[in-house]
């Protein structure tokens, strides 16, 4: 079956440009997470959606980062006025929301953003 | 303070040998879950194994086992009979809370495993 997909896989932006990164979660998955992974580091949480509701955006590093999931499926992470420190891999993960302690998160392949 | 600590930046092992990747964690929450993920050079995060804080037995999944020592707050990954395809970055991660689906994973910095023939 289809897993989590992300597009584009690679994005090069000039400093100051706006970018939009897309995530298609596994069909039926209620929960959706965005993570940022800097080079040589582990992923760090950015934001969480349950269906269309953004329930936690505590990890967004600045107000230049904005995420949405208007219909409770596809999500877009937008970064305005990109800076060099935004260069990273952006990972999307989805999971069923059944309240079990397990709740494996399935990750997409990521979008590698390079800001010049 | 780091919630997940992986002290081995790199590990080297020969094919068919076993290897242990270390992970210690820090939480005051009595209910938590521990995960190990593999990240090959292609970038995707592949789930390997899960251990719940209340699980009585160590988790096992094929060649992967988790050496869970709750009192020491350690959750080391053991890979038996290493294969060349095991070469990758390995991340230990924790989710705190009693199974709330919206709780994000907290990752360590990872360990790079290199398997040679």
Selecting from B33, B45, B109 the residue whose C-beta is nearest the C-beta of A101 gives: B33
Q: How does pLDDT run across A20-55, given as a tens digit for each residue?
A: 999 999 999 999 999 999 998 999 999 999 999 999
Per-residue pLDDT 10s for chain B (117 aa) are: 679 999 999 999 999 999 999 999 999 999 899 999 999 998 889 999 999 999 999 999 999 999 999 999 999 999 999 999 999 999 999 998 765 556 889 999 999 999 999
Write phi, then psi, for B39 (nearest 5 degrees). -125, 100
Q: A54 is written with which tokens?
A: 């953004």
Contact A25, A92 (CB under 8 A): yes
Predicted local confidence at residue A105, as pLDDT: 87
The residue length of chain B stands at: 117
Is B47 within 8 Å of A104 when comparing Cβ atoms? yes
Rounded to whole angstroms, the Cα distance separating A88 from B108 reads 17
DSSP string, B39-54: E-TT---EEEEEEETT
Predicted local confidence at residue B7, as pLDDT: 95
Say if residue A115's pLDDT is above 80: yes
Closest CA–CA distance from residue B33 to any residue of chain A (Å): 7
Predicted local confidence at residue B46, as pLDDT: 93
Contact A76, A68 (CB under 8 A): yes
Say if residue A14's pLDDT is above 90: yes
Is A109 within 8 Å of B31 when comparing Cβ atoms? no
Kindly list the distances between the CA atom of residue A3 and the CA atoms of A26, A107, A115, B3, B22, in Å, as whole numbers in the listed order: 6, 8, 28, 29, 29
């Amino acid at each position: 079956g289809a897993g989590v997909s992300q597009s584009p896989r690679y994005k090069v932006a000039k400093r100051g440009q706006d970018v939009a990164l897309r995530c298609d979660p596994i069909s039926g998955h209620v929960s959706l997470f965005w993570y940022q992974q800097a080079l040589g580091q582990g992923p760090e949480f950015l934001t969480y959606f349950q269906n269309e509701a953004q329930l936690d955006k505590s990890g967004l590093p600045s107000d230049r980062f904005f995420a949405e999931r208007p219909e409770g499926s596809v999500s877009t992470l937008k970064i305005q006025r990109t800076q060099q420190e935004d260069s990273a891999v952006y990972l999307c993960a989805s999971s069923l929301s059944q309240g079990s302690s397990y709740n494996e998160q399935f990750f997409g392949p990521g979008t590698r953003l390079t800001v010049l | 303070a780091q919630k997940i600590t992986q002290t081995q930046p790199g590990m080297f092992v020969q094919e068919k040998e076993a290897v242990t990747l270390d992970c210690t964690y820090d939480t005051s929450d009595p209910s938590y879950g521990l995960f190990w993920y593999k990240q090959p050079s292609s970038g995707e995060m592949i789930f390997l194994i899960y251990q719940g804080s209340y699980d009585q037995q160590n988790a096992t999944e094929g060649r992967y086992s988790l050496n869970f020592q709750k009192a020491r707050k350690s959750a080391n990954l053991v890979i038996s009979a290493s294969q060349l395809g095991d070469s990758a970055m390995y991340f230990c991660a924790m989710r705190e809370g009693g199974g709330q689906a919206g709780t994000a994973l907290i990752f360590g910095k990872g360990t790079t495993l290199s398997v040679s023939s």
